[in-house]
Amino acid sequence: MPQSGRRSASAATRPSCPAGFLCYPIAQAADITGFRATHVPVGEDQLPMIELAQETAAKVNRAAARDILPEPVAVLSTGRLPGIDGKAKASKSLGNAIHLLDGDAEIERKVMLMYTDPEHLTVAMPGKVEGNVVFSYLDAFHSDKEEVAALKQHYTMGGLGDVKLKRFLARTVVDLVGPIRERRERAIADPKGIEAVLKKGSSAARERVAAVIDDVRSGLGIYRLA
C-alpha cells in the first residue's frame, strides 16, 4: 500500500503532455506538404513549423529515393506594423490596432490618436520621421511613394502639422479598408453563397491532397488494403 501511494503522488505531480502537443506540429506540416507548397508566408515565431515541414518532406523523399514533396521555404514579412500608440506591434489584444471591420469614423479616431513626434509642438517646427507611426502606416499603405517622400521632407523641414498629416493618412486607410469591409458585409448577407464556396474549396482540396497522399504511399511502399 505505501508503495502504491508513492506512485500516485508521483503521477499527481508529473506534468501532463497532451496528445495535441505531439500531433499539432506534424498536422501543420501535413497542411503544408499536402498541397506541395513551395513558399509559405509566416512570422518569425512560426519558423520552427516550416523547419519541421522541411524535415518531413526531406525524410519522405529520402525514404522514397525520389522527390515527392518539395521542401517549403519560409517567406518572412519585411517588418511589423507598429501599434497606434508607438509602444508595440499592432495587436488586437493590446487595443492599439486598426481593424478591417472598423468604420470610417473609428478609423479616423484611431489615426488621430497615433503617436508622432512628441517634440513637434508647432506646425512650423521641424519634425522627426523616425519612430513616427503615421509615416510607418503611410509607408505601408499609401500607393504613391513619391508623395510620401515629399511629405517626409516637408515634415522634417517644418511647416507640416500633425493634424493635417493624420487626416491625410485617415483618408488613405479609409479608402483601403472601406471596400474590404463592404465586401465582407455582402458576403455575410449571403450565407448560402459562403457555404457553397466552402464546399467547393473543400472538394478541390480533398482531391488535390488525395493525389499527394497516393504519391507518398506509392513512394514508401504503403498500399491501401482492398
Residue extents of the structural domains in the chain: 20-77, 104-188
Instruction: Please give the grid coordinates belonging to residue 142.
Output: 499609401
Residue range 7-38, pLDDT digits in tens: 444 555 566 777 777 788 889 999 999 999 99
Lowest mean pLDDT among 46-55, 79-88, 113-122, 206-215: 79-88
Alpha carbon distance 71, 53 (integer Å): 7
DSSP E strand stretches across 21-152:
39-42, 73-76
DSSP-assigned letter for residue 76? E
Closest CA to 99 of 87, 86, 88, 111: 111
DSSP-assigned letter for residue 39? E
Question: Average pLDDT for residues 41-62, to the nearest whole number?
Answer: 93
More confident residue, 9 or 201: 201
pLDDT at 146 over 60: yes
Closest CA to 81 of 41, 165, 141, 39: 141
Question: Average pLDDT for residues 96-116, to the nearest whole number?
Answer: 95
For residue 112, give Cα distances in angstroms to 98, 171, 178. Answer: 12, 12, 18
Residue 78 pLDDT = 73
Instruction: Please give the grid coordinates belonging to residue 204.
Output: 478541390
Instruction: Please give the grid coordinates belonging to residue 184.
Output: 465582407
Model pTM score: 0.72
Note the CATH architecture for domain 104-188.
Orthogonal Bundle (1.10)
Residue 12 pLDDT = 55
For residue 162, give Cα distances in angstroms to 11, 88, 106, 119, 153. Answer: 62, 21, 18, 11, 14
Cross-strand partners of 73:
39
Is residue 48 within a helix (H) or strand (E), and if so which, with residue range? helix 47-64
Judge whether 129 and 165 are in contact, CB under 8 Å.
no
Question: Average pLDDT for residues 214-224, to the nearest whole number?
Answer: 89
How much is the mean pLDDT over the chain? Answer: 90
pLDDT at 5 over 60: no
Residue 72 pLDDT = 97
Residue 2 pLDDT = 47
Those residues whose C-beta lies under 8 Å from the C-beta of residue 146, and which sit 6 or more positions away, are none
Instruction: Please give the grid coordinates belonging to residue 169.
Output: 493618412
